[in-house]
């Protein structure tokens, strides 16, 4: 069915609706007072969706009509990024609240589907390798392939990376492109600097495209690393697409390392754990792992 046929159907339906619903005589309309017939008040800028849905003003919007304590609601709204004080229109959400929900949902979807630009990786001076995944669609449908390096990646790591480091740092896009590009400059330089100041042998940092968490086990095995630190984009929340996670593991092995062997630091972003602060925590974590020769649930506090 082409566009012309669709338009014909729409016109015929609209015409039949017009015939079946004749207008009532003007004299049958009930009289109304001047107050009742007055034009409705113009909607606010927020309700007319004139605001940028990502702006600070839109995020601070309070949708509760005629609140008893407006100052309390405003303070509550400022204290959290959660969807509070949105108000209702009968059983339904207010227009702006619904549009912000849809906008945040779209933002989260976008960061999953976007690619980290190759130009960005080159600008950071990082070696780029890949898992067995060839594109984003395969990455989302075959997580098992994202846990293994391609043969080209294995050869590149053996040829270009420092062997047997104390700590190997790996960056991967994971499920959030924004998490990598937004936090990289504030977490990697202080992290590498802190590890070196601690007297540790640091491996060559590199970027893995389409990587899953377990890929760090194969990396550690190939390079003979004592500790592998993987910085990977978290699955985005609603409106929060810049959250980074750190997965650290001691002496990983593909065949024997399980999820309980990993130590995770999550929610690394400007609205959570600041990247610079996270870098210091990761350095301390790596030192304790090397001292205890353990990670995950095997570490003592």
Q: Pick from 129, 134, 153: which is nearest to 145 by CA?
A: 134
| Buried-state track 124-150, b at ≥16 Cβ within 10 A, e below 16 | bebbbbbbbbeebeebeebeebbbbbb
Residue 185, marked binder: no
Q: Pick from 168, 129, 125: which is nearest to 282 by CA?
A: 168
Residue 161, marked binder: no
Q: What share of the chain is helix, strand, coil (3-state, %, to 5)?
A: 45, 15, 40
CB 198 within 8 A of CB 285: no
Residue 170, marked binder: no
214 CB-contact burial (10 Å; exposed 0-12 / middle 13-18 / buried 19+):
buried
Known binding-site residues for adenosylcob(III)alamin equal 213, 234, 264
> Annotated binding site, which residues?
213, 234, 264
């Amino acid at each position: 069915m082409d566009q012309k046929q669709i338009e014909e159907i729409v016109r015929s339906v609209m015409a039949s609706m017009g015939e079946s619903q004749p207008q009532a005589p003007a004299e049958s309309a009930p009289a109304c007072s001047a107050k009742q017939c007055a034009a409705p008040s113009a909607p606010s800028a927020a309700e007319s969706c004139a605001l940028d849905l990502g702006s600070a003003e839109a995020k601070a919007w309070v949708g509760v009509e005629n609140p008893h304590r407006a100052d309390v609601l405003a303070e509550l709204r400022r204290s959290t990024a959660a969807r509070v004080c949105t108000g209702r229109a009968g059983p339904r959400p207010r227009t702006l609240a619904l549009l912000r929900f849809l906008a945040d949902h779209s933002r989260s979807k976008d960061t999953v589907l976007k690619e980290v630009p190759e130009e960005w990786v080159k600008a950071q001076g990082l070696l780029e390798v890949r898992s067995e995944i060839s594109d984003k669609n395969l990455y989302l449908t075959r997580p098992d392939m994202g846990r293994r390096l391609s043969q080209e990646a294995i050869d590149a790591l053996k040829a270009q990376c420092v062997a047997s480091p104390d700590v190997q740092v790996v960056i991967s896009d994971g499920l959030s492109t924004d998490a990598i590009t937004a936090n990289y400059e504030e977490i990697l330089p202080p992290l590498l600097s802190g590890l070196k100041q601690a007297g540790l042998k640091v491996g060559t940092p590199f970027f893995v495209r389409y990587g899953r968490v377990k890929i760090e086990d194969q990396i550690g095995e190939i390079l003979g690393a004592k500790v592998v630190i993987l910085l990977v984009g978290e699955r985005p929340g609603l409106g929060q697409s810049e959250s980074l996670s750190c997965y650290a593991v001691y002496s990983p092995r593909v065949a024997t390392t399980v999820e309980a062997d990993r130590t995770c630091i999550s929610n690394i972003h400007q609205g959570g754990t600041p990247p610079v602060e996270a870098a210091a925590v990761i350095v301390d974590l790596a030192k304790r792992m090397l001292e205890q020769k353990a990670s995950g649930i095997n570490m003592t506090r």
